Amino acid sequence: MNEKELFTRIEMLEERVHYLENLIKTYMANASNMSNAVNRVEKVYDFEEIRTNIVVNDAHLSQVLETSMEEQIILIIAEENKKTPFIRMTKDLCIYKNGSGWIHMDDSDLMLLIRTIEHKILLLHSTYPTDAEKCFDNNKIIYGLNLTGRFKKIKNKLIDII
């Protein structure tokens, strides 16, 4: 190869490199835009997954003792739904189930969700010893949820919050 052919070859390679660099920049910009678009799309989460993964902590327990079991369960559901939407209100309450999408939430599903949270609160409460004076009052609050009698009121309060 002579010198002229070598310079022509180098110019051609420089043009290809420049073209590839521009292509990479365009790809990266598009990928960033796609990532931002995906992040803007509302993510929904499976009802069963959320129900089993709800975490009840000491703050929830102290709130139960200050207010009531009913109020705190409703707030826990609403708080979890804000973080990871799994319940929404259309004509009635709907839950998201993987594979089925948004489906009508039966009362049994809501009852199971409430019972699950109640059980987690009861387990947490059982790990804390209480003195004799507070024991009766605390147990009255902790074990005082009459779900069968107050279910419709609880459901209506949840609908109002969601």
Q: Are 94 and 87 in contact (CB under 8 A)?
A: yes
Per-residue confidence (pLDDT) for residue 74, from 0 to 100: 93
Per-residue confidence (pLDDT) for residue 32, from 0 to 100: 64
Q: How far apart are CA 20 and CA 98, in angstroms?
A: 41
pLDDT beneath 70, residues of the chain = 1, 32-44
Phi, psi dihedrals of residue 92, rounded to the nearest 5°: -145, 180
- Does the predicted model carry a pTM greater than 0.85? no
Per-residue confidence (pLDDT) for residue 23, from 0 to 100: 77
- For 29-57, write each residue's pLDDT tens digit: 777 665 554 444 455 678 888 898 999 99
Per-residue confidence (pLDDT) for residue 118, from 0 to 100: 92
Give 78: exposed, middle or buried? Use CB within 10 Å, 0-12, 13-18, 19+: middle
